[in-house]
Structure 1
Amino acid sequence: MSIDKKLYIAGIGVISPVGFNTQMTVTAVEAGVSGYVLSDFDSHTGEPLKLALISDDIFNKIEIETGLELDQGNRFNMRHDRITIMATIALQEACSKLKSDKAVPFIMAHSEYPYDKTDLSSLTDNLADHVSPWIDSKLTRSLSSGRPASIEAIDMIFNYLYDSEHDYFIVGGSDSYIDEELIQKLDAEDRLLYMNNADGFVAGEGAAYLVLTKKPELALIKNNQAISIAPPGISEEQGHLNSQLPYKGEGLYLAFKGALKSPIKQKISTIYSSLNGEHHWAKELAVAQMRNNPFLSEQVEIKHPAECYGDIGAATSTMLIALSAHDLWNTKTIDTHLVYSSSDGPKRGVLIVEKVNVK
């Protein structure tokens, strides 16, 4: 694969606890608005957990205003229902400016934390019904590495689909931690945030999708500029959260190194990170920064917007890329951003985001 290849953003669709579309979410994150709330879920100590939720009123409003009628399957699962609604709304926004009426290759990011889907409706079929003609189950694949899954998906596009006949590709995920069994599991591991546990994360929910193209003339253009994405660096951390091996931070360092093989216009000015509030993740970032220091500006800024909308699992990577893109569009300087995500498991994904002039 040539390191000179680029993909360009042709569509963005987002829903989060701080915004019901892309612009609202971007504005809220830039303003530092927090979507954290004390929830009805209690920790094992009896204290309420902090979560970042999209309110039920919003879900009801969406269904009423859009006339959204989903196949609910033969039984109800709150997490599955919320994931399906969020995915549908965000994908409809992402595809709204697509200059095509053909089905598009779609690689879905899924959670590392599966749930029983017996007798539940098919997420893919619902999306094919409500995001037609662009979503087709025959052109849909999925990856289940959680936070970095969409960066993995972009890597797949560069390696396997870039030279295909398709002009567009869709990547992204919809995810929610709002599931009693999952909340109990994470709380038992003391990983969730509550009053007397500062070393925890806020479980959130959201969806973020990108339409990508290899043709800059098909990209979203703002101020005569498009947003480019370079081939990612993908690696694995042997000492991940679920491993007994020593945690050395090698996986993220190598993923940084892989992404930085692509030529960059400027040293990295901003890093968009999947840091979620757990102290664990700081070590690998420090290692990656130290060992890739020649590529970073002296005043490199680390942005971790989970402090606004919580940990959104499989929606993380595309949300970070979307925020990076709008950040670049809104600045007059020539900046280079690095976006990375780390899974609870071994997978680490990194890519470079820049803006390019389009005539």
Structure 2
Amino acid sequence: MEVNQLYIAGTGLVSAIGGTTAMNWCSFNADINGYTQSNYRTQDFSPVKLALIPEEYFDHLPEAVQLGPQTSMRHTRILLAAHCAIQEALAGNKAFTLSNIPLVQACPNLLPVDASFNKRLRKNLIALSGEKQTPDDNQGFYHTLNTGRSAVIEGIELAFKLFDTGKPKFVLVGGADSFDDPSAIKILDQMQRLNSESSNNGFCPGDGAAYILLTSEKEHALRKGNKCVALSRPSVGFEEGHLHSKLPYKGEGLAGCFRELLQSLASEAKINTLYSSMNGEQFWAKEYGVAFIRNQQYFDDKLVLQHPADCYGDLGAACGGALTILASQDLLHRQKNDSCLLYSSSDHGYQAATILKSESIDV
């Protein structure tokens, strides 16, 4: 049976501006900026700004497990950030651990070495948490996506398909990523995409992790007072004229995602808040502008556009998860039930969007 909506049962978010969901929400509302000048330099020796998770957020963690000799410092940071966010997301549901719940993981994909790291990511996370490895060897419990910023929202679509089978009661969806690596910075510098003194069209690389525990049963939803948050089945698209394509940009990918979602709204309903993956690069502003203009009739005249990368940098594979968590907090803190649209776009054309709405729960 096809599931029409899912509920958020738990969240975990770690970034440069906070070590928990609550910290990130408060910092974001206060417009706190996590950008700092790093020791990296561009080819013309301009300092590079990064938005990195403060080291003290990892102080409470156990001693590092054996991750293998090829595990870089960047991959270690990704694991530690993911561990912190997952523990928070599952904190309200003690019966569930990584060993017994399906995980849909948005993975880093910038460097060639990421592929082998992603294959053993779940096992390393289980080892870091001190849990016993299960004999299933990930079969049916571990699903990976390597499409970049859009991956978590695409992962939510995959979670819907898992719930359609009627088997799981909960699914954990999330992503973790980091750009804190000389090879990663070099690649971005060669592409002239870094936020530096010599560029006005770059982004600030960040690192972070964001995980969302999903359920199809409203009684298990995360509550604030008498409210919970539901997600619609995402719309997924592809832009042929993407950032790295030689084809002309036509704006059909994101505009199509918006149209598919917004056509299902009640005729009198208008979207008044939109959460975007825009990171400061001009390409993404153009993409949003095209999608907005082609669907303008669905948006309120006083639309609020939120792009949290201004606070915590570009989170890569964790981007869609962070947007979903901040948007859910926004809805939970409003006086009346409401809805908002969020989307995330990847460098290579993958795009995904969903609508979140708050609902009342009988208490």
Hey, what's the Cα distance between the residues in 2 that align with 1:286 and 1:117?
33
Taking the aligned partners of 1:192 and 1:129, their CA distance within structure 2 comes to 35
Structure 1: runs of 5 or more not aligned: none
1:323 and 1:156 map into 2 onto residues whose CA distance is 21
Partner residue in 1 for 2:113: 116
Match of 2:44 in 1: 45
Structure 2 counterparts to residues 115-264 of structure 1, below 5 A: 115-116=112-113, 122-131=120-129, 132=131, 137-138=138-139, 139-263=141-265
1:17-55 deviations in Å (ceiling 9; x for gaps) = 011111111110110000001110001110101111113
Partner SS, residue 85 of structure 1: helix
Q: Structure 1 runs of 4+ off > 6 angstroms?
A: 118-121, 133-136
Q: Quick check: 1:111–1:147 contact (8 Å CA) kept in 2?
A: no
The separation in 2 between residues aligned to 1:20 and 1:154, in whole angstroms, is 23
Query: CA RMSD for the aligned pairs?
Result: 2.1
Indicate the larger mover: 234-243 or 69-78: 69-78
Show the counterpart of 1:15: 14
1:95 to 90, 109, 113: 90
**CA–CA separation in structure 2 for the residues paired with 1:163 and 1:24:** 36
Indicate if the aligned counterparts of 1:250 and 1:284 stay in contact, CA closer than 8 A. no
Question: Given that residues 106 and 144 in structure 2 are in contact (C-alpha distance below 8 angstroms), is that contact kept between their aligned partners in structure 1?
Answer: yes
- Cα deviations by residue, 1:252-276 (Å, 9 ceiling, x for unpaired): 0011122224445831110000000
Q: Does 1:85 align with 2:94?
A: no
Task: Determine the C-alpha separation between the residues in 1 that align with 2:314 and 2:271.
Answer: 24
Identical positions, percent:
36
Matched with 1:290 is: 293
Distance verdict in 2 for CA 1:288–1:32, change over 3 Å = same
Cα distance in structure 1, aligned partners of 2:128 and 2:10: 17
Secondary structure, in 3 states, of the residue corresponding to 1:66?
A: coil
TM-score (norm 1): 0.93
Partners of 1:75 and 1:119 within 8 A in 2: no
Tell me if structure 2 keeps the 8 A contact 1:34–1:308: yes
Letter in 2 for 1:95: L
Residues 224 and 358 in structure 1, CA contact (< 8 A), matched pair in contact too: yes
1:98 CA displacement = 1.6
Deviates further, 109-118 or 270-279: 109-118
Residue 266 (1) aligns with residue 269 (2): yes
What's the CA shift for 1:155?
Answer: 1.0
Tell me the amino acid that sits aligned with residue 166 of structure 1: P
Which residue type is aligned with residue 232 of structure 2?
A: A
Q: 1:57 to 1:100 in 2, by over 3 A?
A: closer
TM-score (norm 2): 0.92
Contact 1:233 1:257 in 2 (8 A): no
Number of residue pairs the alignment of both structures matches = 354
* Counterpart AA for 2:330: D
CA shift at 1:68, angstroms?
4.4
Distance in 1 separating the partners of 2:132 and 2:275: 32
**Deviations for 1:285-312, whole angstroms, at most 9, x for unmatched residues?**
1111111112111111110000000000
Q: Write out per-residue CA displacement over residues 241-261 of structure 1, whole angstroms, 9 at most, x where no aligned residue.
A: 111000121110011122224
Instruction: Specify the alignment match of 1:105 in structure 2.
Output: 102
Runs of at least 5 residues in structure 2 that lack an aligned partner in the other structure:
none
Range moving further from structure 2, 188-197 or 131-140: 131-140
SS in 1 for 2:192: coil
Matched letter for residue 12 of structure 1: T
